[in-house]
Amino acid sequence: MRYRKLSDYLKEKYGERVQRIVIHGGFTCPNRDGRKGWGGCIYCDATGSGFTTEASLLIREQVLKMKERYEKKGIRKFIAYFQAFSNTYDSPENLKKKYEEALVDDSIVQLSVSTRPDLVPEKVLDVLEEFKDRVDVSVELGLQTANYRTLRLINRGHTLAEFVDAAVRVKRRGFELVVHVILNLPWDDALDVIETAKLLSALSVDGVKIHSLYVVEGTELARMYRSGEIRICSLEEYVDRVVTFLEYLSPNVVIHRLVADPPREGTIFGNWGKSKLELVNTIEKELERRNTYQGKKFDYLNR
């Protein structure tokens, strides 16, 4: 393979296929409710970035329901994945209760929590640490770009330094660290993509989720897109950016995804009208055509 795929990594680590169970933990986001900011990141819709699972079900019910569905397909190991909004935005007591509820039995081999860099204080990491003896713990942080000016323009509500601080503290605890990036933000260019790959490699992150920017109804980004204030790069340029990003990224980093998964409803622009599979194939073909691979240009750190 020309890049380190998540499915291969999970098979290596757990000896068989592992399925992620997506959970809605009933969290909100401080970048939407006024604690950090109002309205959220300019691309985020009211569901917390395209989330669809039944939020009305209790956490335990959500896990059991999905587990049963996957078990019929012969899958026996699962990751409890708290995805929507900011999954550390609660008191330590409530967090502990919610995470505990998701660990329904021994088939759950990993607890995975997606959150913002400004929501991982030591007391939250202490809660996660309590689960480390029973399951692997993974923390996902949204960064999106190393360009701190773009972070401001997309209304992230945190800076680059705050991300670095969070990443270092998550790693220090021995948790797996996965970072989300968007490689075609309209304000970024190829240099920003390279710098983002270098930053994540320097921080020894364990995994990366690469997203393609999409536009959904009801967001500030939708307004900008319709008014012509922003331009989304071509598919060719996106593919070029992903390939470049992979070339500069450490070969140790696991690639969780290469493109975003726009919601079925309300998407104004998403993945250039292509399916996720088509896009992934296009990127893989381009890696082959250039005879290149993840880490080809990973020679810039003093190690």
Interacting residue ranges for ligand SF4, rule: CB under 6 A: 29, 31-32, 40-41, 44, 48-49, 85-86, 116, 142
Q: How many residues are given for the chain?
A: 303
Nearer to ligand SF4, 41 or 108 (CB): 41
For the bound state, the minimum distance from the C-beta of residue 5 to ligand SF4, rounded and expressed in Å, comes to 25
> What gap in Å lies between CA 159 and CA 62, rounded to an integer?
34
> What gap in Å lies between CA 238 and CA 261, rounded to an integer?
15
For the bound state, the minimum distance from the C-beta of residue 85 to ligand SF4, rounded and expressed in Å, comes to 4
Residue that the structure tokens 């773009």 belong to = 150
Nearer to ligand SF4, 108 or 166 (CB): 166
For the bound state, the minimum distance from the C-beta of residue 147 to ligand SF4, rounded and expressed in Å, comes to 16
Nearer to ligand SF4, 43 or 78 (CB): 43
Q: Which of 177, 178, 21 is nearest to 107 (CA)?
A: 21
Nearer to ligand SF4, 154 or 239 (CB): 154
> Looking at beta carbons, which residue is closest to ligand SF4?
40
Nearer to ligand SF4, 216 or 254 (CB): 216
For the bound state, the minimum distance from the C-beta of residue 88 to ligand SF4, rounded and expressed in Å, comes to 11
Asked if 168 and 210 count as a contact pair (C-beta separation under 8 A), the reply is: no
For the bound state, the minimum distance from the C-beta of residue 81 to ligand SF4, rounded and expressed in Å, comes to 15
Nearer to ligand SF4, 32 or 209 (CB): 32
Strands 215-216 and 267-269: antiparallel
Nearer to ligand SF4, 38 or 300 (CB): 38
For the bound state, the minimum distance from the C-beta of residue 288 to ligand SF4, rounded and expressed in Å, comes to 33
For the bound state, the minimum distance from the C-beta of residue 158 to ligand SF4, rounded and expressed in Å, comes to 9
Nearer to ligand SF4, 46 or 301 (CB): 46
For the bound state, the minimum distance from the C-beta of residue 270 to ligand SF4, rounded and expressed in Å, comes to 16
> What gap in Å lies between CA 258 and CA 182, rounded to an integer?
10
